[in-house]
Amino acid sequence: MSKSVQKEGMTSRDLQAAKRRKQLLQTAKKLFAEKGYHNTSTKEINRAIGMADGLIYHYFPKGKLEILHTIVQDSTEGKIQQLEKALKNMDADMPIRDMLLKIAHIIVDNADNELIVILIREQPLLTDEQTEWLTRTFDTVIGQLSVLLEKRMLKGELRRLNCKLMARQFVSSIQSYLIEQTILGGGKHRDQTESDKHLMELIDFLLECWR
Amino acid sequence: MSKSVQKEGMTSRDLQAAKRRKQLLQTAKKLFAEKGYHNTSTKEINRAIGMADGLIYHYFPKGKLEILHTIVQDSTEGKIQQLEKALKNMDADMPIRDMLLKIAHIIVDNADNELIVILIREQPLLTDEQTEWLTRTFDTVIGQLSVLLEKRMLKGELRRLNCKLMARQFVSSIQSYLIEQTILGGGKHRDQTESDKHLMELIDFLLECWR
Amino acid sequence: MSKSVQKEGMTSRDLQAAKRRKQLLQTAKKLFAEKGYHNTSTKEINRAIGMADGLIYHYFPKGKLEILHTIVQDSTEGKIQQLEKALKNMDADMPIRDMLLKIAHIIVDNADNELIVILIREQPLLTDEQTEWLTRTFDTVIGQLSVLLEKRMLKGELRRLNCKLMARQFVSSIQSYLIEQTILGGGKHRDQTESDKHLMELIDFLLECWR
Amino acid sequence: MSKSVQKEGMTSRDLQAAKRRKQLLQTAKKLFAEKGYHNTSTKEINRAIGMADGLIYHYFPKGKLEILHTIVQDSTEGKIQQLEKALKNMDADMPIRDMLLKIAHIIVDNADNELIVILIREQPLLTDEQTEWLTRTFDTVIGQLSVLLEKRMLKGELRRLNCKLMARQFVSSIQSYLIEQTILGGGKHRDQTESDKHLMELIDFLLECWR
DNA sequence: GATGAATGAGACTTCATTCAT
DNA sequence: AATGAATGAAGTCTCATTCAT
């Protein structure tokens, strides 16, 4: 009876416990992203949610590292599927500019900033499986994206160019944008509108290049 | 009297000391890049170069963090100047493809992989000055590059496009390439030839887009 | 109303509870003997019998130490009486070899191996009363045994020797045998037949010495 | 350059360190024997010798268990050789009573009480090698002792009996004596004279049996 | 310059025990 | 009776740093 799935038949106590666990993960994620895994003590996590020191080992018997792994697992789980599905169901008749914008948003919104920071900064601490996930995600997106671009090319909406490289170019742009916003950006928090404008600018330029 | 510059009048003892210091920095850099700053103990560094535990504070009185800062300082020092100079002296008559390839190589070779990993992973530990260096480097390269591209555009070698965005696109591509090779790549060590081919492919595609 | 004695008028719930309690004691005894008291957590005991963590304090309100004391109490209770009775009722006409063998078996069978390990290893944790039991048992056995041996001596079945020391010699032999089988033996589990043969050999040799 | 062997060329600092290490082992041995391994905290050991908390890991990097293993190693090392040598060099012309007394004293004096308590109580924590040492010691002593007894038998000083079993009987007696003095005896500390008298009594009785 | 013993704060973790449900 | 979340003291261990030699 998985704690995270089974929601019916849970007593209020189970619910409370599930809530604690979730809160613990959220707080740890925030702190890990902010200050780094090694710079965040378990005590600090506990204090942040007003929890007794030992309780962490009730929820995560293998300790602090299990928390990190669980955070990454929970945050990435299903994301490839979501991405693949979204890309697969992309409407072929939608204007290409709208399509690219939509894809960009899916990637950017899907990738929460805290997760990105953790994945990059704490990568040596991740499991092999999780490290592999990073690579696979890129490849998947590029693969499916190049298929979509190819269709547009055949319809004459784009010049005849190497689709794979077009896809890589698109992903590189988004990646740069994300890294700038998370790792390098540090404190600069631009507002949503400005962010959107930046994405739009990127995509319009790409289209100009590809037409 | 900077230890690393002044070479005349050094006794053999001074030379030995300078050698030790250099070795310490190299080893620390390697370990920091491999396992992260917080996961590398000073003891580990000392053991790696067969040095006594206390001696680290002779070379770096402010301790471990000073080592990190020195590594970053030494590794980045003069790099912007080198880049600026290289970009400024770029031959205007060189075929554009060769020019872009040369620039790409300057960036890639300039940026040693260990440094990149450290700059990205340990960014919160860097001094403000060093953090700023990261941003300035990008801006500098993009600025000068866009000037170079504009010249080519005026000569009719490129389509009329936004030069700033072209430059960003170029830098994003290189950045993606570097990140793939360092942070994400993990164990995959491609050989030099394959790396060169990849860079060439990127540039040829960019040129195709821009013409 | 001792839970382990009173069997009539028990509801099925009482029976279930009595069963649990017994199972808990058995499992704890096994684990304490195997890994030591301090190396066995209450959680481990609970998991082993599939019991909730808190329930241990329903059965043993004073906690873990009470379990140890109860194990020792239950295991030793009545054993001196049994021994005394068995020794007292020893048939005076039985061949002396059979008598000694019978006594040896009474001691060995009476002393279950897990109990011996616990008594010796965790002796500092026992109550004073229980510690005293250990000494008294030895003295009792030696005292009564020496009486039995004296009778045989008077009947001319044995040489004229110090009966007390004969008894001690007998007990020492059995003790060595038991310690070899429990503390030192570790993994070596000889079968019953071989064990019996060893005891017989010991006794035949003693008789040879004493005749 | 082994710390415990090389004594020449040691600076006063080395000597001081060696002294500390020895003191640490002695104190830990005493405390482990007194209160048990799990009941003795590292802090307690440190306090007992006025040492800083972390220093234990300078001397024993693998921690508390390494201290126990070192204690057992140091205490047992060379003891078999000593025993074997002493038994081998036993004067064949010495009166048999004196010989047995001497052997008893070698065993008893060789076996320091703290070590015995630790070996028996903490046996599950020992290395396999150390556990094996216990068995081997018994076998060795019994083997050599039975050779010595056989010689006496051939000289007519003893009856014709099974030498191996005689040796076992001797060792069992000593073993019982030791266990009584250490594990079971608890606080009772008899004086040396009384102890000697007890051993003598044991041996005289054995000789009476064997003649 | 060099050594490594010494320090002690603080990290992670375990565990018996309590208690609301 | 039963559950398992909650508690917090205490344990083991790590580590950057200091300092006498």
Nucleotide nearest to C58 (CA to C1'): F1
Residue with minimal CA–C1' distance to F21 is D13
| Contact status, residue A59 vs residue A21, Cβ threshold 8 Å | yes
Dihedrals φ, ψ of D140, to 5°? -60, -50
Q: What is the chain B residue with the closest CA to A162? A: B205
For residue B119, give the nearest of A135, A120, A125, A31 by alpha carbon. A120
Eight-state DSSP code of residue D156: T
Eight-state DSSP code of residue D102: H
Span C21-29, average pLDDT: 96
End-to-end CA, chain D: 54
State whether the beta carbon of B1 lies below 7 angstroms from any atom of strand E. Answer: no
* Chain C residues 143-162 with a CB less than 8 Å from chain D: 161-162
Cα–Cα distances in angstroms (integers) from residue C129 to residues C29, C69, C82, C125, in the given order: 19, 10, 18, 11
State whether the beta carbon of A135 lies below 7 angstroms from any atom of strand E. Answer: no
**Is residue A70 classed as helix, strand or coil in its secondary structure?**
helix
Mark yes or no for CB contact D124/C36 under 8 Å. Answer: yes
Covered bases, chain E (protein CB within 7 Å): 1-21
Rounded Cα–Cα distance for residues C179 and C156 (Å):
33
Rounded Cα–Cα distance for residues A172 and B170 (Å):
10
Which residues of chain B have a CB within 8 Å of the CB of A123?
A: 183-184, 186
pLDDT of residue A2: 40
DSSP E strand stretches across A78-183? none
For residue B31, give the nearest of B76, B60, B58, B68 by alpha carbon. B68
Residue bearing the bigger pLDDT, C1 or B165:
B165
Rounded Cα–Cα distance for residues D137 and D80 (Å):
6
Rounded Cα–Cα distance for residues A187 and B31 (Å):
28
Mark yes or no for CB contact A120/B121 under 8 Å. Answer: yes
pLDDT of residue A37: 97
State whether the beta carbon of D42 lies below 7 angstroms from any atom of strand F. Answer: yes
Query: Is C25 a residue whose pLDDT tops 90?
Result: yes
Mark yes or no for CB contact A135/B184 under 8 Å. Answer: yes
Query: Is A180 a residue whose pLDDT tops 90?
Result: no
For B164-198, write each residue's pLDDT tens digit: 999 999 999 999 998 888 887 655 556 778 888 99
Cα–Cα distances in angstroms (integers) from residue B126 to residues B39, B72, B116, D30, D34, in the given order: 16, 8, 13, 50, 52
Cα–Cα distances in angstroms (integers) from residue D7 to residues A120, C2, D16, D59, D77, in the given order: 52, 67, 12, 18, 19
Which 3-state string (H, E, C) describes A73-96? Answer: HHHHCCHHHHHHHHHHCCCCCCCH
Tell whether D81 is within 8 A of chain C (Cβ): no
CA A200 to chain centre: 20
Residue with minimal CA–C1' distance to E11 is A41
- A184's CB contacts (< 8 A; 6+ apart) are B123, B134, B135
- A208's CB contacts (< 8 A; 6+ apart) are B161
pLDDT of residue D19: 94
Sequential DSSP letters for D132-143: HHHHHHHHHHHH
Query: Is C1 a residue whose pLDDT tops 50?
Result: no
The H or E element that residue A18 is part of is: helix A12-35
* Chain D residues 175-194 with a CB less than 8 Å from chain C: 175-176, 179, 183-184, 186
- D56's CB contacts (< 8 A; 6+ apart) are D24, D42, D45, D46, D63, D64, D67
State whether the beta carbon of D63 lies below 7 angstroms from any atom of strand F. Answer: yes
Q: How far is D167 from chain C (nearest CA, A)?
A: 12
Q: Which fold has domain B12-74?
A: Arc Repressor Mutant, subunit A (1.10.10)
Residues of chain B with pLDDT under 50: 1-6
Which residues of chain C have a CB within 8 Å of the CB of D179?
A: 175, 179
Rounded Cα–Cα distance for residues C182 and C202 (Å):
18
Q: Which fold has domain A78-210?
A: Tetracycline Repressor; domain 2 (1.10.357)
- Only one residue has tokens 């230890």, namely B3
Q: How far is C199 from chain D (nearest CA, A)?
A: 12
The H or E element that residue D177 is part of is: helix D163-179
Mark yes or no for CB contact A168/B184 under 8 Å. Answer: no
Mark yes or no for CB contact B173/A169 under 8 Å. Answer: yes
Rounded Cα–Cα distance for residues B209 and B200 (Å):
14
Eight-state DSSP code of residue D106: H
pLDDT of residue B83: 84
Which residues of chain D have a CB within 8 Å of the CB of C120?
A: 120-121, 183
Mark yes or no for CB contact A38/B39 under 8 Å. Answer: yes
Covered bases, chain F (protein CB within 7 Å): 1-21
Q: Taking the domains of chain B in order of start, what are their residue ranges?
A: 12-74, 78-210
Report residue C120 as tokens. 């010796």
| Contact status, residue C211 vs residue C159, Cβ threshold 8 Å | yes
- C133's CB contacts (< 8 A; 6+ apart) are C76, C80
For residue D175, give the nearest of D121, D124, D138, D133 by alpha carbon. D138
Query: Is A7 a residue whose pLDDT tops 70?
Result: no
Mark yes or no for CB contact D209/C205 under 8 Å. Answer: no
Q: Which candidate in C158, C180, C209 is best for mutational testing of the D interface (most D CBs within 10 A)?
A: C209
> CB-CB: which of C131, C184, C210 is closest to D209?
C210
pLDDT of residue A188: 55
**From the CA of D49, how many Å to the C1' of E5?**
15
Which of C 56-115 have CB under 7 A of nucleic chain F? 58
Rounded Cα–Cα distance for residues C101 and C94 (Å):
11
Rounded Cα–Cα distance for residues B46 and B27 (Å):
9
Q: Highest mean pLDDT: which of A51-65, A118-132, B110-124?
A: A51-65
State whether the beta carbon of D61 lies below 7 angstroms from any atom of strand F. Answer: yes
Which 3-state string (H, E, C) describes C117-154? Answer: HHHHHCHHHCCHHHHHHHHHHHHHHHHHHHHHHHHHHH
Residues in chain A: 211
pLDDT of residue A112: 84
Whether chains C and D touch (3+ CB pairs under 8 A) is answered by: yes
Which residues of chain D have a CB within 8 Å of the CB of C209?
A: 161, 169, 209-210
End-to-end CA, chain C: 52
Nucleotide nearest to B53 (CA to C1'): E4
pTM: predicted TM-score of the whole model, two decimal places: 0.89
Residue bearing the bigger pLDDT, B1 or A125:
A125
For D20-67, write each residue's pLDDT tens digit: 999 999 999 999 999 999 999 999 999 999 999 999 999 999 999 999
**From the CA of C57, how many Å to the C1' of E18?**
10
DSSP E strand stretches across chain C? none
Lowest pLDDT segment from A42-46, C13-17, C67-71, C162-166: C13-17
- Only one residue has tokens 């591209």, namely B149
Rounded Cα–Cα distance for residues D177 and C176 (Å):
11
Question: Rg of chain B over CA atoms, in angstroms?
Answer: 20
For residue A58, give the nearest of A96, A18, A91 by alpha carbon. A18
The whole-number mean pLDDT for each consecutive block of 10 residues of chain D, a chain of 211 residues, reads: 49 89 97 96 96 96 98 89 86 91 87 89 92 85 92 93 96 91 66 84 95 89
Which residues of chain D have a CB within 8 Å of the CB of C206?
A: 169
For C46-85, write each residue's pLDDT tens digit: 999 999 999 999 999 999 999 999 999 999 888 888 888 8
pLDDT of residue C153: 93
**From the CA of A41, how many Å to the C1' of F2?**
35
Using CB atoms, list chains with 3+ pairs below 8 Å to chain A: B
Which of D 30-69 have CB under 7 A of nucleic chain E? 51-55, 58
